[in-house]
Amino acid sequence: MKFLVVGSGGREHAIALQLAKSERVEEVIVAPGNGGITGTKITTIAISEQEHQNLADLAREKHVDYAIVGPEVPLLAGLADVLEEAGVPTLGPSQKAALIEGSKDFAKQFMKKYAIPTAEFQTFTDYETAKAYLDKQGAPIVIKADGLAAGKGVVVAETMEIATIALKDMLLEDKFSKAGEHKVVIEEFLSGEEFSLMAFVNGEAVYPMEIAQDHKRAYEGDKGPNTGGMGAYSPVRHIDSSLVDTAVRTVLEKTALGLVQEGRPFKGILYAGLIATEEGPKVIEFNARFGDPETQVVLPRLESDFASLVADLLDGKVPDVRFKTEGTTLGVVLASSGYPGDYETGKPLKRLADLTDEVHVFHAGTKAEKDGAFVSNGGRVLLLQTEAESMNAARAKLYKEMEKLDDPNFFYRMDIGTREE
Ligand code: AMP
Ligand code: GLY
């Protein structure tokens, strides 16, 4: 089999490596990939995720059997539709189905209609009305800009002052949206453990993966601004498996069925960001794709053949989805100093070559220099990942290697996985 993987982050690196493990896979083409995405059977090609027609042409020329689209932006722009029209079965939803991620307002209205458990909410476009609602609800409260904002359009406000500033930023300024298109969702603050539940979905058929826990805030102790994710681990044993089963039924299965009923059948990875509240699991967000960095800790735990799984799912067969039950997989992100705000790129990753094979490196924002060394080229630079029999052992092993990357140009969180110890 030949696969095309679209995207350029650590997630796509993990997808490509997992595909390449399969004996049935002859080649994995990653477009555009990044300097660090290399390996046997893996080739990268410099076609960006916006070049839909070029990607479809490439897939046909290279006789690609299946495509996997990693990021949300091309999905929301309709890349899966273009690939499917070109006859390439694609793991990634249509533009219509991807709206479950693309619009928080759509997702909230959808959940209300299909009685999918989520935080109470209201949507506003007018500042005065929104402010009146805010005053009535009080803090803590959550303010979300509608539309994609790479995790940055959400403010969890502990105080009314913070909430009011966020509301002004989102409704009166153009910080989070194009001019004139202001919409916010104000929602109830949910307290409880957060976890990520992803599933392989084709229409009504839902095949869940092991759960993972991401660490979204930039700094230790869950302080600082929201990021794309600073580290993750899987499985999450302190979250009850019966609660996860409930989430599969009340969230994933209902969502897949609801999307079919709405005429937006979903084919791809459905990701539910959930909070385990006292009343059971509730949705805080949906993504229409694999999570990043969750994928880097979940996919390597797959015991069944990933390529066959994807092929079967897309061919409408029942895929074999089995995960390791033993051990823990941990991943820690190395980010550029300043991320998720402004940061500089082109900083050398001096000791990358000194890392032992105790850890795996997933490249996200890196660039290969002529001499084979790597420099930084993004906010999230790379992720180190390892597996061990316990979280304690995994943390010891991983942070020992991570130390080799200590450098004022970069930072990472020391507390990834500590909730599981
Ligand atoms: P989102 O982009 O919707 O995933 O939100 C980013 C982060 O904000 C989430 O990962 C949560 O940690 C937090 N968050 C979002 N919505 C809520 C909520 N209703 N209650 C508590 N925390 C939330
Ligand atoms: N790690 C969260 C996300 O992929 O959206």
345-398, pLDDT tens digit by residue?
A: 999 999 999 999 999 999 999 999 988 899 999 999 999 999 999 999 999 999
Q: Which CATH number fits domain 2-96: 3.40.640.10, 3.40.50.20, 3.30.70.260, 3.30.420.40?
A: 3.40.50.20
Looking at every residue in the chain, the average pLDDT score rounds to 95
Query: Is the four-CA dihedral 196, 260, 73, 360 of positive or negative sign?
Result: positive
The pLDDT, as a whole number, for residue 152 is 60
Cβ of 291 less than 6 Å from ligand 2: yes
Confidence of residue 158 (pLDDT cuts 50, 70, 90): very high
Fold (CATH) for 193-315: D-amino Acid Aminotransferase; Chain A, domain 1 (3.30.470)
State the pLDDT confidence band at 182, using cuts at 50, 70 and 90: confident
**Measured from the CA of 216, which atom of ligand 1 is nearest?**
10
Residue 288: what pLDDT? 98
Mutate to test the pocket of ligand 1, among 144, 277, 285 (most ligand atoms within 8 A of CB): 285
Tokens 């794709």, located at residue? 289
Q: Which CATH architecture has domain 120-188?
A: 2-Layer Sandwich (3.30)
pLDDT digits over 234-289, tens only? 999 999 999 999 999 999 999 999 999 999 999 999 999 999 999 999 999 999 99
For ligand 2, say whether the CB of 292 is within 6 Å of any of its atoms: yes
Answer yes or no: is the C-beta of 214 below 6 A from any ligand 2 atom.
yes
- pLDDT attached to residue 178: 57
Rg (CA), the chain: 21
Which ligand approaches the C-alpha of residue 273 most closely? 1
Is ligand 2 within 6 A of the CB of residue 72? no
Q: Give nearest CA residue, ligand 2 atom 2.
A: 291
The residues spanned by each domain of the chain are: 2-96, 120-188, 193-315, 328-411
Which residues are registered as beta bridge partners of 385?
A: 331, 360
**Domain 328-411 annotated CATH 3.20.10.10:** no
Strand order through the sheet with 205-208: 205-208, 193-202, 267-277, 280-287
pLDDT at 179 over 70: no
